[in-house]
Structure 1
Amino acid sequence: MHALNLQPKTLSLAERLADLAVDALIDEADLSPKPALVDRRGNGAHTDLHLGLMHASALSLWPAFRAMADAAIAFGEIGLPLREAVGRIGREGEQAMLDTTGGVNTHRGAIWALGLLVTAAALDPESTAASSVSIRAARLALLDDRYAPRPLSHGAQVAQRYGARGAREEAQLGFPAVTQRALPQLLHSRAAGHGEQNARLDALLAIMTNLADTCVLYRAGEQGLYTMQRGAQAVLDAGGSSSLAGRRRLHELDQQLIALNASPGGAADLLAACLFIDRIESGDSLKQGAF
């Protein structure tokens, strides 16, 4: 083919949203140094995960995110038909993820959170403020998918045992960990000139200060959760991840959580949701020619 004929492809809205969702997952995975999580340094508290696997998992989910956005555009409104279509697509996406990772659960929680947000964004691409997208996602999450399997996930079991708010409830409330903690901290750290990577780390820590992370509860119980929340707050109180004192606290938290085998996977999923909302909030990323 002649080089002059290699014109950039014009992406559909669904394709652009899928790109942004996958980008958010890869950006979250690459962010370093995250406490006890897979990042560019290593596998954190995990023995079955590594950065390449996280990347492959994220890329495997692109068709599911695109299909969710297409479903939103096709149905055009929040209702049970859309909720059940998104649920079916999410389960198919989860199976594609497991096929890619050899059965390792890399992004199950992220499929739920980002799937809802992608769908919500596709429903009204002219209304991309964080509050608007999260409210639409919450309305969708509140609907009961009649075809969803009923066995409880590890996260749901732990949420029941400890009376914690699981991923489902977090979505049904409009992702308060994202809209009330992560995004404000991200913007604050950016405005203070802390640099993008440090701002993202601070956003993750802001989530960890308050989240009843069911991944941590499952792996390390209430002691692990207390260590995560207290340690994350200590980093922020010391000046955040851009300060020398904050970095020392962050290293201490990393070591403490690894010793407890406590990996804040729920917080990581919500950071990816935060990065996705941050990218779409201005609306620029959804315009034709933005890629």
Structure 2
Amino acid sequence: MSLRPERVASFAQLAMLLELSSTPKPGNVDRCHDFPDIKFSHFLASSALCYPVFCRAARGESGLGSLILEAVTSWRQFGLPGNTHFGEVTLLVPLVRAAGMSEDLRSAVAQALRASNVQDSLDFYQAFAMAGARVSEVEELSLSDSRAADEIRQKGLRLLDLMRRSEGHDQIAREWAHGYRRCFDLAEALEKNVASHGLNEGVVLTFLEALADEPDGLITSKHGPGLARQVQEMARSALKSSDCFEAAEEMDRTMLERDINPGSTADLLAAALFISLWRGLRF
């Protein structure tokens, strides 16, 4: 399947919009509710502003880190508050680059990740700081350490190398390190769920399954592993209930009241949506 760069970019933008608008995805902004400090409209704008970046990625222009930084810069120049889509863009940019390279998406994304370089690492650190993103703190090469750039240069660390160092405590890094293994698995589940339940319910069901399968990384970094495991058990209980969508609504209310946001799982879902759209998912 050979697609024009603009078509590939539209799939990435659509993946972001479908992840955003599907409801209820417990604890996340969707079309039915905002957060106090960041709104549904902010996420819509963030998605729209990414389109030129995705076009450049599909054409093979610029490095992965530079493209991620370009996306975050566009959000700040527009005046968007907070961190809207840093994790999603970090996952989607390599996928879009790969889709513009080859019909074999798995092999192409692995190739795109291997081609990352030191400048990608430096640009990624700058983008992370600008986005106000959050990950679990580490002692070595912390994303919040301004001195890390010198060590990255000295050791010649590609962005893929940094992701491999972080895979033990960060879900996004783990996808980079392992060729998007979980995202491809989620895409298969998503396609089955959409075929059986329709688009919105299929996306929500896949989100619950992903949350039940593995503790969310953002919850872990903000609240600790204990609460992340509690949320994982909540998702498992929702899936076992007689009406999992009604249970998801109740779970959503509880998590919003407690300011618990499984944002990393939403990021993985957006990547899975892109893979499925690229493979032919329609609705």
TM over 0.5: yes
Structure 2 counterpart of 1:172, from 166, 177, 181? 177
Instruction: Give the direction of change, closer, same or farther, for the CA distance of 1:138–1:253 in structure 2 (3 Å limit).
Output: farther
How far did 1:48 drift?
1.8
1:81-127 Cα offsets, whole Å, 9 max, x none, are xxx62221221121112222434210111111110110010001xx2
Q: Higher mean Cα deviation, 104-113 or 227-236?
A: 227-236
Distance 2:167 2:266 in 1: 20
**Paired AA for residue 265 in structure 1:** G
Structure 2 counterpart of 1:260, from 221, 242, 258? 258
Which residue pairs with 1:189 in the alignment? 193
Which residue pairs with 1:95 in the alignment? 73
Which residue pairs with 1:25 in the alignment? 16
**Paired AA for residue 174 in structure 1:** G
**Pairing 1:213–2:193 present:** no
**Paired AA for residue 109 in structure 2:** A
Instruction: Give the direction of change, closer, same or farther, for the CA distance of 1:145–1:61 in structure 2 (3 Å limit).
Output: same
**Paired AA for residue 118 in structure 1:** V
Structure 1 counterpart of 2:40, from 51, 56, 67? 51
Which residue pairs with 1:274 in the alignment? 272
Check conservation: 2:167, 2:173, Cα contact below 8 A: no
Identity between Structure 1 and Structure 2 (%): 23
Instruction: Give the direction of change, closer, same or farther, for the CA distance of 1:196–1:237 in structure 2 (3 Å limit).
Output: same
The unaligned stretches of length 5 or more in structure 2 are 143-164
The structure number with the bigger radius of gyration is 1
Q: Classify the secondary structure of the residue corresponding to 1:40.
A: coil
Which residue pairs with 2:113 in the alignment? 141
Which residue pairs with 2:147 in the alignment? none
Which residue pairs with 2:6 in the alignment? 15
Q: Higher mean Cα deviation, 247-256 or 30-39?
A: 247-256
How far did 1:145 drift?
2.6
1:244-289 Cα offsets, whole Å, 9 max, x none, are 521232123213322432211111111111111111113x99xxxx
Which residue pairs with 2:149 in the alignment? none
**Paired AA for residue 229 in structure 2:** Y
Distance 1:39 1:214 in 2: 19
Q: TM-score, normalised by structure 2?
A: 0.77
How far did 1:50 drift?
1.2
Distance 1:255 1:111 in 2: 27
Summarize the alignment of residues 89-168 of structure 1 with structure 2, pairs less than 5 Å apart.
89-124=67-102, 127=103, 132-147=104-119, 148-149=121-122, 150=125, 154-155=134-135, 157=137, 163-168=168-173
Q: Higher mean Cα deviation, 251-260 or 194-203?
A: 251-260
How far did 1:166 drift?
3.2
Q: Across the two proteins, how many residue pairs are aligned to each other? A: 247
Instruction: Give the direction of change, closer, same or farther, for the CA distance of 1:188–1:224 in structure 2 (3 Å limit).
Output: same
Instruction: Give the direction of change, closer, same or farther, for the CA distance of 1:257–1:224 in structure 2 (3 Å limit).
Output: farther
Q: TM-score, normalised by structure 1?
A: 0.75
